[in-house]
Structure 1
């Protein structure tokens, strides 16, 4: 499945985050992910990640790579960014998951044709504990109950929820079994009632 951007380019709706990974571990991870079917890789922090990706012909196939030079955006006035986003923005990458849903921001972006990309879509990473104080939503009793209902893992349920919000999700994992688990989220669909139920676990952090 893909998300079409305003400029006509197509972005796979599920990707793989490789933040804070380096060297051979990234290369092996991405090779395995490509075999599974991933075609979208989020390289947050260019450096070692980009140099690792450039080896062994990993990028000689049709992939989507997101590159974010560290600290670049923080050096630009917020107002300039905001007007630029409204005028020409294609995608907005934010932290969003069931405990931090940011519904108004998601709807605002979608209203203006800006594709929402969810980093940390399962919650609980270093980024959101340090910055937002949030925790992983994978132990939430409501989400666990729904996962049992659909006979899926909680992670699969949460990723499916993100996709049904019309957002791109880029979970991070270094384990092969998790890569496979996270990618297999297209064989089921959450009901409107269950989407509403998940709205109720938002902690509005």
Structure 2
């Protein structure tokens, strides 16, 4: 099951996120995920493990476990590299051992002081607040991203950036599966992350049921405008205000 992007490329609707995935576990987790049927892997320069992911992808392709055209690899531009997009993209490609990316996302639509390609630092100013580079507009960033597509380095570009137990019983699915299915039915690509084999299987097994319109609306009403990843805590600004 996949979503067709505006440029015609298809994006698998279920992906595996590698954020905070322990480096010593990446090889087995990714190879097992591929064997289970995962084809979409969500990476980022800021996750600090592109090189480890690249080693696994290279092994999987070399061994014939999967073909490159069957994979959908996403990674993300970090804030401090908005002024060095070509170099940042090439750095990610080198680490991932790929010739092109299926999707390159702007991790956050905000440019900060450059600290070196691939360092993914969040430099703060003297006032302790995120040091924003006001000389780089989002328009400038977008045009540089478009250039990556023209160069053939990237296929697609974009800006990135709790459930009731009775529903679990009703559908005989875990709360996580209910959440993933809710996202899928909203035509949203879902990127679950797990380091446990049983959870990898569970997260992939969400295409054999459908939530009713009433339950979709019920979950929507649970919105509390709460984020578990809140930049304001470490950048000093309310990014989502």
The answer, yes or no, to whether TM exceeds 0.5 is yes
Summarize the Cα distance change of 1:83–1:28 in structure 2 as closer, same or farther, 3 Å threshold.
same
Matched, 1:57 2:38: no
Question: Secondary structure at the residue paired with 2:30?
Answer: helix
User: Post-superposition shift, 1:78?
Assistant: 3.9
Q: Which residue of 1 aligns with 2:181?
A: 160
Q: For residues 144 and 46 of structure 2, what CA distance do their matches in structure 1 show?
A: 23
Q: For residues 53 and 61 of structure 2, what CA distance do their matches in structure 1 show?
A: 7
Matched, 1:200 2:221: yes
Q: Which residue of 2 aligns with 1:8?
A: 8
Larger radius of gyration: 2
Structure 1: gaps of 5 or more residues? 95-136
Q: For residues 75 and 44 of structure 2, what CA distance do their matches in structure 1 show?
A: 6
TM-score w.r.t. structure 1 length?
0.67
Structure ranking higher on relative contact order (CA contacts 8 Å, 6+ apart): 1
8 Å CA contact retained: 2:15, 2:40: yes
User: Structure 2 matches for 1:107-122, cutoff 5 A?
Assistant: none
User: Post-superposition shift, 1:54?
Assistant: 2.9
Q: Which residue of 2 aligns with 1:190?
A: 211
TM-score w.r.t. structure 2 length?
0.58
Q: CA RMSD in A?
A: 2.7
Q: Which residue of 2 aligns with 1:145?
A: 166
Structure 2: gaps of 5 or more residues? 83-109, 112-135, 150-155, 227-241
